[in-house]
Structure 1
Amino acid sequence: MKVFFNQLFDYNFYCNKGLIKECSELDKVPERSIELFSHILNAHDIWNSRSLNRKPKFEVWQIHDIKHWEDIHYENQRSSFEIITNASDFDKRIDYETNEGRLFTNTLGEILFHIINHSTHHRAQIAVDFRSNDIDPKSLDYIFYKR
């Protein structure tokens, strides 16, 4: 499982780093894309924090200046790799409270997979937002990454 999750998080790192670079080179990044990418970064931190039983650094929809994206992204990835490296059981149950105050339990493996899936979902929304703003998004398909 560790190898599988390390591969997924390598891919996630590659995609987010590419998107950060792309946005940094644009004259104007669409506001919705800034909101969505900030949300990707925030959610990643929140899920890492839940896995580590610590308080998140960010709110769910907190907006970040593009110049801070790379540092936040790097710290999220570092933390996820640390979680994966130190995991002895991906079926370990993690209890957490949502932002609405509801209590849930999921396995560590489910949470890690959710981080990847959630990021992919919102990167796709950013690609749609780019297209609607006449920006040609780079392809971030997993199979292209693996080639």
Structure 2
Amino acid sequence: MKDYLIHLLDYELWANVRVIDALESVSNPPARAIAVMGHVLSAQHVWYGRLARESVFVSIWEDIPVSWMTETAERQHRQLVSYVASLAEQDLHQPLPYTSSKGDPHQSSMLDMLTHMSHHAAYHRGQVVQLVRPMLQEAPVTDYIVWKRGR
């Protein structure tokens, strides 16, 4: 399972970078597109903090300049992959307490948290692509199967 999660994190980086590249190619991307992609990256960082039980000093809607997004995505990918690689398989299924962004206490397994991160990011990447599609000759395709075929 651990190898699969790392595989999924590799896909996440690829998909995030494709959307960030599209944002960078647009001379004046919509503010909402920038905000949503920033949300994908900042929420990922917040979830990493919950997984690793580390304090993070960002909100889930952090303003991230487009010019910093690729570096942010790559850094977070390295952190997450390193963290997941360090875990024992059984750790993935253990309940982990955390507090939501609304301050509510919850408990989820690391496997569920990492799965949520992937689905959450895919949902919001779709929103970003929809916002910038009219400004692009060709919109980025971020489907998992497209990534898998290209490997």
1:46-57 alignment runs, 5 A limit: 46-57=46-57
Deviation at 1:67, TM superposition (A): 1.2
C-alpha separation in 1, matches of 2:6 and 2:35: 27
Report deviation, 1:35. 0.7
CA distance in 2, matches of 1:129, 1:21: 14
- Is the contact made by 1:45 and 1:57 (CA closer than 8 Å) also made in structure 2? no
Provide the rounded CA distance (Å) in 1 between the counterparts of 2:119 and 2:103: 23
Q: Note the C-alpha offset of 1:137.
A: 1.7
Q: Secondary structure at 2:92's aligned position in 1? A: coil
Report the Cα distance in structure 1 between the residues aligned to 2:116 and 2:131, rounded to whole angstroms.
Answer: 22
Pick aligned residue for 2:107 from 105, 117, 127: 105
Percent identical residues: 22
Q: Distance in 1 between matches of 2:81 and 2:32?
A: 29
Aligned equivalents of 1:27, 1:2: Cα separation in 2: 40
| 1:58 is the counterpart of 2:61 | no
Report the aligned-residue RMSD: 1.2
For structure 2, the residue ranges without an aligned partner over 5 or more in a row are none
Number of residue pairs matched by the alignment: 146
**Once the 2 structures are TM-superposed, how far is the Cα of residue 57 of structure 1 from its aligned partner?**
3.1
Which residue matches 2:82?
Answer: 82
Matches within 5 A, 1:36-55: 36-55=36-55
Alignment of 1:1-147 (within 5 A): 1-88=1-88, 89-131=91-133, 133-135=134-136, 136-147=138-149
**Structure 1 regions of 5+ residues with no counterpart?**
none
- Does the Cα contact within 8 Å between 1:45 and 1:56 map onto a contact in 2? yes
SS at match of 2:98: strand
